[in-house]
Amino acid sequence: MIRRQVGIRDVAAAAGVSVTTVSHVLNETPHTRTSDDTKERVKQAAEQLGYKANRLARGLRINASGMVGLITEEIAITPYAGRIIQGAQEEAAKRGFTLAILNSELNPDPEIDPKLSQALVDRQTDGLIYATVYHDEVVVPAQMHAAPAVLIGARDRDGDVPSVMPDERAGAAAVIDMLVEAGHTRIAFAASSIDVPATRGRLVGVREALADAGLLDEALIVEREAEAAGGYAAARALLDRPAEDRSTALFCYNDRMAMGVYRAAAELGLSIPGDLSVVGFDDQAPIPHSLYPELTTVALPHYEMGAWAVNTLSALIDGKDEYRLLGAHATLLPCPIVERGSVARLGV
Partner DNA sequence: CTGAAAGCGCTTACAG
**Phi and psi, residue 99, nearest 5°:** -95, 120
- Minimal distance in Å, beta carbon 15 to DNA? 8
Please report how close the Cβ of residue 62 comes to its own copies at its closest, in angstroms.
10
Binding site for DNA (CB under 7 A): 4-5, 7-9, 16-21, 23-24, 26-27, 29, 32-35, 37-38, 51, 53-54, 57-58, 60-63
Interaction of residue 228 with its own copies, rule CB under 8 A:
yes
How many beta carbons lie within 10 A of that of residue 122, not counting itself? 9
Q: Which of 273, 281, 289 is nearest to 251 (CA)?
A: 281
Q: Which of residues 240-279 bind its own copies (CB under 8 A)?
A: 256, 259-260, 263, 266-267
CA–CA separation, 155 and 137 (whole Å): 5
341 sits near its own copies (criterion: CB under 8 A): no
Q: What angle do CA 223, 163, 339 make, to 5 degrees?
A: 50
What DSSP line would sit under 135-173, residue for residue? Answer: -SEEB--HHHHHS-EEEESSEETTS-S-EEEE-HHHHHH
Among 189, 253, 303, 323, binds its own copies (CB under 8 A): 303
CB of 319 to DNA, least distance (A): 14
Mask of contacts with its own copies, 68-87, x by CB under 8 A?
-------xx-xx-xxx-xx-
Whole-angstrom distance, CA of residue 180 vs CA of residue 340: 17
Q: How far is the CB of 180 from DNA (least distance, A)?
A: 58
| Per-position x/- string for 131-170, each x denoting binding to its own copies as judged by CB under 8 A, each - no binding | ---------------xxx----------------------
Q: CB of 161: closest distance to DNA in angstroms?
A: 26
| 166: CB partners within 8 A, 6+ apart | 198, 300, 301, 305, 332, 333, 335
Q: Which of 9, 115, 123, 320 binds its own copies (CB under 8 A)?
A: 123
List strand residue ranges (DSSP E) for the chain, in order.
Answer: 67-73, 98-104, 127-131, 137-138, 149-152, 155-156, 163-166, 187-192, 221-224, 249-252, 277-279, 297-298, 331-333, 337-338
Residues in touch with its own copies (CB under 8 A): 1-3, 52, 54-57, 59-60, 65-67, 75-76, 78-79, 81-83, 85-86, 89-90, 93, 98-103, 119, 121-127, 146-148, 227-229, 232, 256, 259-260, 263, 266-267, 284-287, 289-292, 303
